[in-house]
Amino acid sequence: MKVLLYYSGLVLQTMGFATMLYVFMLFFGNTRMGALLNLSLVGIVEFYVGNYLAKLSRIK
């Protein structure tokens, strides 16, 4: 069970990082600020939920 939590946390962290990288690339294009803020929020939530799951797997 801990292995599943750990790897799902890592996947979510990677997805969050990739989302933020996508937002960074969109920043230089012609994208509305509201869409950038919404995508940023999604990326941040993905990353921190992944971080929480990865930490849960390390608790005794």
The CA angle 25-6-13, to the nearest 5 degrees, is 10
User: Is pLDDT above 90 for 16?
Assistant: yes
pLDDT in tens, 22-56: 999 999 999 999 999 999 999 999 999 999 999 99
Q: What are phi and psi of 23, to 5 degrees?
A: -65, -40
Nearest to 21 by CA among 54, 53, 1, 47: 47
C-alpha–C-alpha distance, residues 26 and 39, integer Å: 10
> With bands split at pLDDT 50, 70 and 90, how would you rate the model's confidence at 11?
very high
C-alpha–C-alpha distance, residues 12 and 59, integer Å: 19
